């Protein structure tokens, strides 16, 4: 079983729509959680950390459910520039990456 | 620049040759990581350096892979007797301390084995 599992998508949404997806992780001892964004043929870039109480960063909202071991990301009012692959990342001392969820926002 | 620097950006070599990939982390970052990403796949952890501690080599796929970090800064990843399945993007990341802090990635080295 993979340490981090994600729905690969793709999620194709129109501009302005809300899109949400999540991932599950297997290591209950994981300490830190992140969402990274990766554009085609580019390096991953940190989008946001995920805190137990849930947190927002502009149009992005992340939630963590430790009991069920899943993490979610919601994007509101999606923009064309949000088109990317979103990587769910779980950390004990090293990062474990999901394979990514592809989001395509269309005009 | 202030980011993680990797070189070369691209490397094409023949099967059986040795290659060295270089990573220069963000100044002051004590933790350094190597990952690889094969086409259409997620990132795969390779090795982790933290300060002067012994590196965590648990992700290295075979004994053809090795890495060192000199002076607690620059790291080189060496692949000996390269195979076609070694073709991937090799990414280096650094963070200020332990893995519980977000990591910052370099642009990667795209390695192609012919």
Give the tens place of pLDDT for each residue, A11-32.
Answer: 999 999 999 999 999 988 888 9
Taking CB atoms and an 8 Å limit, are A44 and B43 in contact across chains?
yes
Confidence at residue B21, expressed as pLDDT on a 0 to 100 scale: 98
Confidence at residue B70, expressed as pLDDT on a 0 to 100 scale: 84
Task: Please state, in angstroms and rounded to a whole number, the distance separating the CA atoms of residues A85 and A94.
Answer: 21
CB B41 within 8 A of CB A99: yes
Question: CA nearest A101 in B: which residue?
Answer: B42
Confidence at residue A104, expressed as pLDDT on a 0 to 100 scale: 96
Confidence at residue B43, expressed as pLDDT on a 0 to 100 scale: 87
B100 in reach of chain A (CB within 8 A): yes
Confidence at residue A31, expressed as pLDDT on a 0 to 100 scale: 86
Identity of the residue in A45, A94, A99 whose CB atom sits nearest the CB atom of B99: A94
Confidence at residue B51, expressed as pLDDT on a 0 to 100 scale: 85
Question: CA nearest B58 in A: which residue?
Answer: A94
Residue B71 corresponds to which tokens in the numbers above? 């002076």
Q: Any bridge partners for residue A52, and if so which?
A: none
Taking residues B73-98, report their average pLDDT. 93
Q: Is the pLDDT of residue B81 over 60?
A: yes
CB atoms within 10 A of CB A31: 12
Task: Please state, in angstroms and rounded to a whole number, the distance separating the CA atoms of residues A74 and A59.
Answer: 8
pLDDT tens for each residue of B40-73: 777 899 999 998 888 999 999 999 999 999 887 9
Query: Which has the closest alpha carbon to B97: B21, B2, B33, B1?
Result: B33
Taking CB atoms and an 8 Å limit, are A46 and B104 in contact across chains?
yes
């Amino acid at each position: 079983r993979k340490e981090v599992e994600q729905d690969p998508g793709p999620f194709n949404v129109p501009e302005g729509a809300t899109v949400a997806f999540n991932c599950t992780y297997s290591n209950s001892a994981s300490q830190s959680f992140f969402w990274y964004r990766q554009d085609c043929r580019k390096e991953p870039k940190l989008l946001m950390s995920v805190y137990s109480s849930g947190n927002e960063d502009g149009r992005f909202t992340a939630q963590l459910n430790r009991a069920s071991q899943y993490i979610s990301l919601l994007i509101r009012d999606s923009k064309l520039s949000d088109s990317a692959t979103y990587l769910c990342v779980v950390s004990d001392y090293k990062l474990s990456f999901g394979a990514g969820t592809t989001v395509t926002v269309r005009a | 620049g202030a980011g993680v620097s990797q070189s070369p950006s691209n490397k094409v070599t023949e099967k059986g040759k040795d290659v060295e990939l270089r990573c220069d982390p963000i100044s002051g970052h004590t933790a350094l990581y190597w990952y690889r990403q094969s086409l259409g796949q997620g990132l795969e952890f390779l090795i982790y350096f933290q300060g002067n501690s012994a590196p965590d080599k648990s992700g290295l796929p075979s004994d053809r892979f090795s890495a060192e970090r000199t002076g607690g800064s620059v790291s080189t990843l060496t692949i000996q007797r390269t195979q076609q399945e070694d073709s991937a993007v090799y990414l280096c990341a650094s963070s200020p301390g332990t893995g519980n802090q977000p990591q910052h990635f370099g642009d990667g080295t795209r390695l192609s084995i012919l």
